[in-house]
Copies of this chain bind each other. A is one copy, B any other.
Amino acid sequence: MGANGDGPVDTEEAIMQATYRALCTHGYANLTMQAIADEFDKTKGVIHYHYDTKEALLVAFLEYLLDAFEQHIAVEGDDPVERLETLIDTLLFGPPERTTFDHWELTTAMLEIRSEAPHNAEFRRQWSRNYETVVAMVVAIVEDGIETGVFRDVDPEQVAMLLLVSINGARIYQVTLERDDVAEVTRAGLEAIIHEWLCEDEAETSAR
């Protein structure tokens, strides 16, 4: 919640949280304005005052989720291996500190909104902006590792994309399959790739 009393920012934050709860409870296919209002201590009219249409509300909601997500994945430090591992951990398992949302509940909610993106250009635009933000973070770490001689001379964009598709795929399998080890096994696999392939010294390979 904001610190400005009961102003529009607080109301919008309350609507966003109500939307999140309604999405988790009812799923995307049953996410009506009424279902959102039911999670909210104000009326449907208040929601319509802030958001003209359900689509406008959902666009704002996706932006809200992605902003919250991006705020929690910043990594600091000098060691590119450590920074990369911390980022992988945070993306796969959620930030170490407690946040507003449960990581796997959030993954499920995001999967449902993502499945709408093929039909909605504004959703695709927002997912793309989010992807470019996160991929730039990975590229910066990989470039730093190459410059300092820690990583072999790879294509940073290619490695960053491979990491992000793996993590994205793993999170989606984790919430849609009957097995609960996908994120753990994926982390172990990515660790092996980093230490046995990406790292110049540990891999004991000749330079390409």
| Interface residues as binary, A183-197 with B (CB distance below 8 Å gives 1, 0 otherwise) | 001101110110011
Chain B residues with Cβ under 8 A from A123's Cβ? 176
Question: Would you call A172 an interface residue if the criterion is a C-beta within 8 Å of the partner chain's C-beta atoms?
Answer: yes
Question: Would you call A71 an interface residue if the criterion is a C-beta within 8 Å of the partner chain's C-beta atoms?
Answer: no
The stretch of A35-43, A75-83, A200-208 that contacts the partner chain: A200-208
User: How many chain copies does the complex carry?
Assistant: 2
Give the Cβ gap from A19 to chain B, nearest Cβ, in Å.
15
Counting chain B CB atoms within 10 Å of each CB, which of A127, A159, A168, A208 scores highest?
A168
- Tell me whether B189 and A128 are in contact (CB under 8 A): no
In the complex the two chains form, what is the Cα distance from A158 to B186 in whole Å?
Answer: 7
Question: Would you call A114 an interface residue if the criterion is a C-beta within 8 Å of the partner chain's C-beta atoms?
Answer: yes
Question: Would you call A47 an interface residue if the criterion is a C-beta within 8 Å of the partner chain's C-beta atoms?
Answer: no
In the complex the two chains form, what is the Cα distance from A148 to B28 in whole Å?
Answer: 49
Give the Cβ gap from A153 to chain B, nearest Cβ, in Å.
11
- Tell me whether B204 and A185 are in contact (CB under 8 A): no
Please tell me which one of the listed residues B108, B118, B188 contacts residue A176 in the complex, with CB atoms under 8 A apart: B118
Give the Cβ gap from A177 to chain B, nearest Cβ, in Å.
5
Question: Would you call A51 an interface residue if the criterion is a C-beta within 8 Å of the partner chain's C-beta atoms?
Answer: no
| Contact A124:B169 (CB < 8 A) given known A196-B197, A203-B205 | no
Interface residues of A (CB under 8 A from B): 27-29, 108, 111-112, 114-119, 123-125, 127-128, 131, 154-155, 157-159, 161-162, 164-170, 172-173, 175-179, 182, 185-186, 188-190, 192-193, 196-197, 203-206, 208
30 residue pairs A–B, Cβ–Cβ below 8 Å: A28-B115, A108-B118, A112-B115, A124-B177, A125-B178, A127-B176, A127-B177, A128-B177, A131-B173, A131-B179, A155-B188, A161-B186, A162-B185, A162-B186, A162-B189, A162-B190, A164-B169, A165-B182, A166-B169, A167-B169, A168-B169, A169-B170, A172-B172, A193-B193, A193-B197, A196-B197, A196-B208, A197-B197, A204-B205, A204-B206
